[in-house]
Amino acid sequence: MKFLRLSRFGWDYVSGKKIQGVGLILTRRCNLSCKYCKIKDNASGKRELSVAQWKKAVDNFAKNGHRHFIFTGGEPMLYSGLSELMDYTSKKALTSLITNASYLDDQTFPGLKNLDFLTFSRDSLGKDGTFEKDALPRLELISRWCRKLKITPSAIITVTSKNVKEVPDIVRKIDRYGISILLSYIHSSGEDSYEFRNHVPELEFRTRSDFQDLAAFQETMLRMKRDGFRIAESDNFIRNMINFAQGRYRLKCPATDPFFTVDVDGRIKPCHDIPASGVSALDFQDYFKMKHEVSKCIPAGCNCYYDCYFNSQDGFKNLLFQLLHR
Ligand code: SF4
Ligand code: SF4
């Protein structure tokens, strides 16, 4: 963790008790094809912004007090201007990268020198080809480079009914490298209105036996947390997974309050999972008018269980966790 940078930009990040960040979907291209993901679009190159345009978008949000930018995708490391954009953004705000880790190696890591937080995904080793993400062979490399560049790493595991029994073992393997673990949780509504989550009933928790597995998983995670494993999720998040699966949990949505996402073509979205508004991040003039317009895109009754949104009220607690576990 870059403490000087945190003291410069971090107070806004941790003290507001809200997500202050802006997610930037640099590309929708991806080298993988995870079954639960709809965001991949390998033709998105035609709509992608240039680095100069992304800089304008960053300036516009930074001018309005945003001090954390999250580079995401698709696979953001496929965007050729990533390093230049990251260097530019790091002068104005904290930077995060969410990657499937495929392109992290000794050649690419130096280009991430100005990154503050790295989140990479690590799913099951399922042999049926359902899960493709596997950062396990790269854990030593990721840990070594993150120490060298003072980047705070975390691994995010998507928990499904198919891999739920494997996850504790994955957590143990990642923890050995001093990397904290986030839990993403498979969910869909069966509707077509979302841009990220795909409808994959076979991976979701739907049957009585799925719920039993999930209940056992929750207890295992809580016990492992108490035993000192670096599981970053709050107890509250872990305990409510089954409530969400059974339709008994509703998120207090933080989108546009003040978290935003910018789509690949510069249009602002409430979050990565909701279709974009017509407002461009490059040239909006009135912040509050923009916020009003974008918030109108949130569908009535919208609900999700993404950990970052769930934990948005726990900014300070999350930061403390990161500090204590480095
Ligand atoms: S979840 Fe991530 S790695 Fe998987 S296809 Fe979607 S963008 Fe690519
Ligand atoms: S509830 Fe909010 S954060 Fe979740 S998908 Fe809907 S708009 Fe996005």
Q: What is the pTM of this model?
A: 0.91
Q: What does the pLDDT read at residue 325? A: 47
51-88 pLDDT, tens digit each: 999 999 999 999 998 989 999 999 999 999 999 999 99
274 touches ligand 2 (CB under 6 Å): yes
CA of 307 to the centre of ligand 2 (A): 11
Q: What does the pLDDT read at residue 142? A: 95
Which of 39, 38, 35 is closest to 26 using CA atoms?
Answer: 39
- From first to last of the 326 residues of the chain, give the pLDDT tens digit: 677 777 777 665 655 445 578 999 999 999 988 888 889 899 888 899 999 999 999 999 999 989 899 999 999 999 999 999 999 999 999 999 999 998 999 999 999 999 999 999 866 544 454 445 566 678 999 999 999 999 999 999 999 998 899 899 999 989 999 999 999 888 876 667 788 888 888 889 999 999 999 999 999 999 999 999 999 999 999 999 999 888 888 888 888 888 899 999 999 999 999 999 999 999 999 999 999 999 999 998 898 988 888 776 555 455 444 444 44
Residue from 35, 75, 200 to probe ligand 1 pocket by mutation (most atoms less than 8 Å from CB): 75
Q: Whose Cα sits closest to atom 4 in ligand 2? A: 304
Question: What's the DSSP call for residue 49?
Answer: P
The bridge status of strand 268-269 relative to strand 260-262 is: antiparallel
| Block residue for tokens 């930009």 | 9
Q: What does the pLDDT read at residue 165? A: 92
Phi, psi of 249 (to 5 degrees): -130, 135
C-alpha to C-alpha distance for 256 and 219, rounded to whole angstroms: 34
C-alpha to C-alpha distance for 154 and 25, rounded to whole angstroms: 19
Q: What does the pLDDT read at residue 322? A: 47
CA of 241 to the centre of ligand 1 (A): 22
C-alpha to C-alpha distance for 104 and 173, rounded to whole angstroms: 18
Q: Nearest ligand to the C-alpha of residue 121? A: 1
Phi, psi of 260 (to 5 degrees): -135, 165
CB 266 within 8 A of CB 280: yes
142 touches ligand 2 (CB under 6 Å): no
Q: What does the pLDDT read at residue 310? A: 79
Q: What does the pLDDT read at residue 8? A: 75
Q: Nearest ligand to the C-alpha of residue 259? A: 2
Q: Whose Cα sits closest to atom 2 in ligand 1? A: 74
215 touches ligand 1 (CB under 6 Å): no
42 touches ligand 1 (CB under 6 Å): no
75 touches ligand 1 (CB under 6 Å): yes
CB 20 within 8 A of CB 316: no
**How buried is residue 128: exposed, middle or buried, by Cβ count under 10 Å (0-12/13-18/19+)?**
exposed
Residue type at 16?
G
CA of 262 to the centre of ligand 2 (A): 14
User: DSSP characters for 203-230?
Assistant: GS--SHHHHHHHHHHHHHHHHHHHTT--
Question: Per DSSP, what are the bridge partners of residue 262?
Answer: 24, 268
